[in-house]
Amino acid sequence: MNIINLQNAAQQDITFEPKADTISASPIQTFIDSLRHRLSVSRQPKALKPFSPGDIKILLLENVNQSATNIFQEQGYQVESYNGALTEDCLIEKIKDVHAIGIRSKTKLTAKILEHAKKLIVIGCFCIGTNQVDIDYAASIGVAVFKSPFSNSRSVAELVIAEIITLARQIGDRSIELHTGTWNKVSSRCWEVRGKTLGIIGYGHIGSQLSVLAESLGMHVLYYDIVTIMPLGTAKQMSTLNELLNKADFVTCHVPATPETKNMLSAPQFSAMKDGAYVINASRGTVVDISSLLTVMKAEKVAGAAFDVFPSEPANNASGVYNDTLNNWTSELISLPNVILTPHIGGSTEEAQCVIGNEVAHMLSKYINEGTSVSSVNLPEISLKTLALDKENTVRILYIHKNIPGVLKTVNDILADHNIDKQFSDSRDNIAYLMIDISSVSQDEIKQLYDSLNQTNAKISVRILY
């Protein structure tokens, strides 16, 4: 990673208090102002930047929330944003010149794209998952990846609750009928959700939030997870997936996209379900085998289904829905009764996107400004306290390297003429990250240190902050 330039940044205090003339009395603005105040970066006595902030270029795709743009602009960074994803060729061209990129779920950052990212320092996924990024390749070139693991959990959980009630009462069908001029008041196969059993596959941030909401509606909650997790309320963990499927009236999936979860619900699992059960997928589109689901729905084994995610999805709203992107089964799904299809909107609320924008933007800013990698999904988690104001000749070295023997000795030999104030190193698989604060460093020596560290055999990337 090339150092940006070697000029001292001016001393600055970093806060995110809203100006008085921008405060609004609206509930959303009040929520945003309160959130930004709680997440504001603490007063920093010394700015850890070997660059003019205006040199840092941020590329934001897929309509990342304005709260992130505000944070980056307050830092002084250049921000370029787009409402949708970019084509591969366009993305390759854009990524050559940026230091950070923010994406959501549609942008695919493959090794082919990332190999063109000569200045890239960090990637921010403004969403829960990172399966759209080749995180191993990113680590191999010293690029940190961050995500927002739970900021939209409540929004997704509320959508699932809405879908449970909508399926139980066949609200979707009744609404479509009335929109097309048919009055069809029926009670057959319409149920209260009180007293019914909800089976949650994956009891993480979303699954556990959903558990609490479902119990407040009077539902019984069972869950299955590959690890033992303490239940909330009166929920009970099942030892096997089939045990959950045998007992649940509603089955909802909240697992990541992995080889183990691909087609996690397929023909054998549908056979194990109670007759008349409902299936909901608001996790990843590969989790449910839709062809098998179509078969059991036509046989009325499954009484209804709700999908917020699909095996493949359009890159943006302009791409449209009824095309090959959603594959041939789209027309079959929409022809079946009691099927709810939504365009991946589980986390698409103003509150969730604001929280995600703030959270990920702060992570990226701290990594750019301080080297802090806490919560990174692909690098060791490293953090040191901010440099003290009274140590004007102190610099911070950020050295990402191959995890091989002898590296610390090599680095410390290079730094032998300087006092090491603080040093912290950790590793993750084949990648290690070393953060060192050294003092008594003159301006002339900074470039020499950078060149020496950059020539070491184990080096992946080097940055020096001062």
Q: Which of 406, 412, 418, 425 is nearest to 453 (CA)?
A: 412
**Selected catalytic residue, list 99, 154, 205, 284:** 284
Residue type, 260: E
Distance CA 53, CA 369 (A): 9
Burial class (CB in 10 A: 0-12, 13-18, 19+), 159: buried
Q: Which of 200, 408, 389 is nearest to 397 (CA)?
A: 408
φ/ψ of residue 313, rounded to 5: -135, 150
Residue 353 tokens read as 């996107």
How many other β-carbons are positioned within 10 Å of the β-carbon of residue 454? 15
- Let me know if 93 is a catalytic residue: no
**Selected catalytic residue, list 99, 154, 205, 344:** 344
Residue type, 402: K
φ/ψ of residue 139, rounded to 5: -65, -40
- Let me know if 344 is a catalytic residue: yes
**How many residues make up the chain in this entry?**
466
Contact 347, 150 (CB under 8 A): no
Tokens 């590296």, residue?
407
**Selected catalytic residue, list 313, 332, 351, 445:** 313
Catalytic residue numbers, as ranges: 284, 313, 344
